[in-house]
Amino acid sequence: MLDQQTLNTLIIGDPSAGWCKEIQRWLAPQHVCTVANTSDEIDLSQITVLLGAPMELAQLIPQCPQLKWAQSTWAGVDAISRFASDSLSVTALKGVFGQSMTEYVFGWLLALERNILNHAQATGWQPIEDSSTAGKTMGIMGTGSIGSALPSIARQLGITCRGLNSDGRSIAGFDHVYASDDRLSFAQGLDYLISVLPSTPATDHIIDADLLQRLNHNAIVINVGRGNAVRAQDLLGALNRNVRYAVLDVFEEEPLPRDHPFWQKSNVFITSHTAAVTPSNAVVALFKENFERFSRGKTLLYKVDPLRGY
pLDDT exceeds 70 at position 47: yes
Q: Which of 226, 231, 244, 293 is catalytic?
A: 226
Q: For residue 226, indicate whether it is catalytic.
A: yes
pLDDT exceeds 80 at position 164: yes
Q: Please give the average per-residue pLDDT across 74-85, as a whole number.
A: 95
Q: Residue 81, Cβ neighbours under 10 Å: how many?
A: 22
- Residues 180-213 have pLDDT tens digits of 999 999 999 999 999 999 999 999 999 999 999 9
Q: Please give the average per-residue pLDDT across 54-77, as a whole number.
A: 96
- Residues 131-146 have pLDDT tens digits of 999 999 999 999 999 9
Question: Where do the domains of the chain lie?
Answer: 8-95+278-295, 98-270
Q: Please state, in angstroms and rounded to a whole number, the distance separating the CA atoms of residues 310 and 198.
A: 7
pLDDT exceeds 70 at position 4: no
Are 8-95+278-295 and 98-270 the same fold in CATH?
Answer: yes
pLDDT exceeds 60 at position 244: yes
Q: What is the pLDDT of residue 278?
A: 87
Mean pLDDT, the chain, integer: 96
Of the pLDDT bands very low, low, confident and very high (cuts 50, 70, 90), residue 257 is very high
Q: Please give the average per-residue pLDDT across 8-23, as a whole number.
A: 96
CATH of 8-95+278-295 given 3.30.390.50, 3.40.50.720, 3.40.50.300, 3.40.50.2000: 3.40.50.720
Q: Which of 82, 114, 273, 293 is catalytic?
A: 273
Say if CB 221 and CB 247 are below 8 A apart. Answer: yes
Q: Residue 239, Cβ neighbours under 10 Å: how many?
A: 20
Say if CB 143 and CB 171 are below 8 A apart. Answer: yes
Q: Residue 219, Cβ neighbours under 10 Å: how many?
A: 24
Q: Using DSSP, state whether 81 is helix, strand or coil.
A: helix
- Residues 216-238 have pLDDT tens digits of 999 999 999 999 999 999 999 99
Residue type at 308 in one-letter notation: R
Of the pLDDT bands very low, low, confident and very high (cuts 50, 70, 90), residue 38 is confident
Q: Please give the average per-residue pLDDT across 4-26, as a whole number.
A: 93
- Give the single-character DSSP code of 304: P
Q: Using DSSP, state whether 38 is helix, strand or coil.
A: coil
pLDDT exceeds 80 at position 150: yes
Q: If we measure between CA atoms, which residue out of 32, 28, 12, 21 comes closest to residue 73?
A: 12
Contacts of 96 (CB under 8 A, 6+ apart): 278, 279, 282, 286
- Give the single-character DSSP code of 132: -
Q: For residue 176, indicate whether it is catalytic.
A: no
Question: Strand runs (DSSP E) across the chain, as ranges?
Answer: 8-12, 32-36, 49-52, 69-72, 89-91, 137-141, 160-165, 176-179, 192-195, 219-223, 243-248, 268-270
Of the pLDDT bands very low, low, confident and very high (cuts 50, 70, 90), residue 252 is very high
Of the pLDDT bands very low, low, confident and very high (cuts 50, 70, 90), residue 58 is very high
Q: Long-range pairs for 25-34 at CB < 8 Å and ≥24 separation?
A: 26/288, 27/291, 30/6, 31/6, 31/7, 32/6, 32/7, 32/8, 33/9, 34/8, 34/9, 34/10
Q: Please state, in angstroms and rounded to a whole number, the distance separating the CA atoms of residues 91 and 111.
A: 35
Fold of 98-270: Rossmann fold (3.40.50)
